[in-house]
Amino acid sequence: MNFHTDGSGQPDALDLGRDLQQQKCQREGLAVAQADLARVGEGVSLAAEEHAALDIFLGTADKGQVVALGDIRAVVVQQHRAGGKVVAVERQTAHQMLGLGQAGRVGLPHRDDLFGRGALALPAQAQNDRSIALGVVVKEHKKLVAALLQRQGQRRQYLGRDEARTILQNIAQGKYNDVQVASLITVFLMRNISVEELCGFRDALLEMRIPVDLSDFAPIDIVGTGGDGKNTFNISTASCFTVAGAGFPVVKHGNYGATSVSGASNVMEQHGVKFTSDVDQLRRSMEKCNLAYLHAPLFNPALKAVAPVRKGLAVRTFFNMLGPLVNPVLPAYQLLGVYNLPLLRLYTYTYQESKTKFAVVHSLDGYDEISLTNEFKVATSDHEKIYTPESLGFSRYKDIDLDGGQTPEDAAKIFDHIMNNTATEAQKNVVIVNSAFAIHVIRPEKTIEECIALAKESLESGRALATLKKFIELNS
């Protein structure tokens, strides 16, 4: 592996991330475009590059291959944004940091989970020393994690699909106490979740959901994972009404905002909508205005069992990843936005295990939707492609153009401007492009330009607004 250096003899983190990402992709047999690697490596986003480098070093095993902790190295990146580069890299062997033997396979915590929100209580000296902090946290949890991973006399990194399903069912049934649940969640703060595990957890939640059969409508759901920290306005919700106004059935599964000022449920409440689990009312809404809204807590009672633990940990957990996958209607189509490329691949593989026709989108500057602030990637069951805003006839916008305001009331006003076709060019076009790619999931035989025209016509003709007004009338 050949690295450039920053002049101190240490690897330049931009080269580090690109080469390591390429090695990881090769090991896992992923067909990743060279263009993607170049974009990450050349620093399209410093945060994205840093994330890529740490993702590699803070993992301990290849798929299907045992890797001793002593054989890898943990990297702690200190940010010095001189010249747009990460210039200082500290290294410590992982087994020294964890105080574990060579046979251990427990992963290190991801940097964001430890330091991004200051949610974990650490000794004072660890607050400013990331290497100390990593050691403290891992040492604190290693016994609990080791116990969880010890099965049938062997230490294994990943749960099988059935094992994951059973564990989540047991949690929902109250068979584990809060400490045990927190320990399980900690495992997934310390390493990435696998496709098998995510599918197993999804299976459990769907089996325990309150089912809603609207399959005869063959609807689409448009949703983002959240977690991008961008505080955008309600792009996916506005896109749902735009797609419904274009004549396509939509079942939106949403909740209150967790990582932004206003989630889908916030904007619905701002318009006087009353949430319901009454299937007849939901069906009537679909018949009259092409759209039904499912407030997630009404349909996923199993999540109540972990709510206190999640609130106490105050960090993003794998439960946040399940929301987009557990729409109780099991929609025929889905457009999902994610905030990084590893999640794009994870969700793509997960959707391929289901019958859902899908597209997963990611803006390369970190948005969990098509933001038109940068290039964006779209992945479906049979292809992946990078688009530029300009290639689709749009301008490139700035982060501030998509801001959702400071309160749910602010976000609702922006939403109303979009529906009334009085929004800014950036706000309107971002909704149009997300709506267009949702329509393309349903009608892949159409060109994306044709889908853009359909979405634009829905907004400009007033059909999206008429859909909103009828929806409010039916659901208030």
Pairing of strands 250-254, 150-151: unpaired
**Residue partners of 272: CB distance under 8 A and separation at least 6:** 472, 476
The DSSP H or E segment spanning 384 is strand 384-387
> What sign results for the dihedral spanned by CA atoms 300, 304, 306, 307?
positive
Please give the full DSSP string across 9-33, using - where no structure is assigned: SSBPHHHHHHHHHHHHHHHTT----
Looking up tokens 């991330």, which residue turns up?
A: 17
Q: Nearest 5°: phi and psi at 336?
A: -120, 130
**Taking each helix axis from N to C terminus, what angle separates 425-442 and 448-460, rounded to the nearest 10 degrees?**
130
Summarised one tens digit per residue, pLDDT across range 126-142 is 334 444 434 443 443 34
Summarised one tens digit per residue, pLDDT across range 236-250 is 999 999 999 999 999
Q: Flag whether pLDDT at 11 surpasses 50.
A: no
**What is d(CA 294, CA 292) in angstroms, rounded to the nearest whole number?**
7
| Average pLDDT, integer, range 246-272 | 90
Measure the N-to-C terminal CA separation of the chain; round to a whole number of Å.
61
Summarised one tens digit per residue, pLDDT across range 374-417 is 999 999 988 899 999 999 999 999 999 999 999 999 999 999 99
| Average pLDDT, integer, range 109-122 | 33
| Average pLDDT, integer, range 30-43 | 35
**Residue partners of 285: CB distance under 8 A and separation at least 6:** 291, 292, 293, 471, 474, 475
Residue 315: the pLDDT is 66
Residue closest to 441 by CA, chosen among 291, 221, 237: 221
